[in-house]
């Protein structure tokens, strides 16, 4: 029932996406309605270390899918299938055109579908649409795949933080070693000078 109404579906998809993101990533690792340089505001931007954000869209065109499920005749089914292809292909094009910004964002974007059954139906009956989206660098993901993707991103961020921490530790240890060596070097230098003076006297 939630997915049958466009307005409630949009709110439901956004809410589910926000719950998945906020449950896995720390604050500051993502932003909802983040404004890009072209003044577009994707549903979510996930920030990656030393790279542009990964953009996620949570608005999916489901009207044609509902029409297909409710088709009573073969003609209605064919018309609904054609509309599914048209609607999703257009949405994929919109995502690619608005959110794949060279030098600013990642070179792929995610289209989130908050329904495992709709995702399965797309892969079962519209493999050509899915492949076309992949060629456009828009990955269609279900809730399960979204959780997996965010877990991977979390690990990437953790690894980057560990590398940064390791670099900081090495730098601090280097400073400490320098501070420790410096008095010894100064003392050795003084001893050498005293020895030279002593040798000169003799």
Rounded CA Rg of the chain: 29
Q: Do β-strands 109-112 and 44-46 pair in parallel, antiparallel, or remain unpaired?
A: unpaired
pLDDT for position 111:
95
**Whole-angstrom Cα distance, residue 128 to residue 191?**
82
pLDDT for position 197:
62
pLDDT for position 100:
96
Kindly state the helix (H) or strand (E) to which residue 133 belongs, with its residue range.
Answer: helix 127-135
Strands (E), 33-178: 44-46, 54-57, 109-112, 138-141
Give me the tens of pLDDT residue by residue for the chain, a chain 202 residues long: 555 555 555 567 788 999 999 999 999 999 999 999 999 999 999 998 888 999 999 988 888 888 888 888 889 889 989 999 999 999 999 999 999 999 999 999 999 998 899 899 999 999 999 999 999 999 999 999 999 999 998 888 888 777 766 666 676 666 666 665 555 555 656 666 666 666 554 4
pLDDT for position 200:
56
Token reading at 107 = 């070179």
Length of the chain: 202
The model's pTM is 0.75
């Amino acid at each position: 029932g939630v997915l049958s109404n466009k307005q409630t579906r949009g709110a439901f998809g956004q809410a589910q996406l926000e719950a998945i993101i906020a449950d896995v990533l720390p604050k500051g690792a993502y932003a909802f309605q983040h404004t890009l340089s072209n003044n577009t505001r994707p549903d979510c931007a996930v920030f990656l270390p030393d790279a542009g954000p990964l953009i996620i869209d949570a608005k999916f065109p489901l009207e044609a899918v509902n029409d297909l499920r409710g088709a009573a005749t073969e003609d209605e089914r064919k018309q609904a299938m054609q509309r599914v292809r048209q609607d999703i292909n257009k949405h994929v094009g919109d995502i690619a055109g608005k959110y794949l910004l060279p030098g600013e964002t990642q070179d792929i974007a995610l289209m989130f579908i908050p329904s495992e059954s709709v995702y399965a139906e797309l892969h079962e009956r519209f493999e050509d649409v899915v492949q076309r989206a992949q060629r456009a660098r828009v990955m269609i993901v279900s809730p399960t795949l979204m959780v997996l993707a965010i877990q991977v991103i979390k690990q990437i961020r953790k690894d980057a933080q560990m590398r940064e921490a390791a670099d900081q530790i090495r730098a601090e240890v280097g400073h400490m070693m320098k501070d420790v060596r410096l008095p010894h070097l100064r003392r050795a230098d003084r001893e050498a000078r005293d020895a030279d003076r002593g040798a000169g006297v003799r």
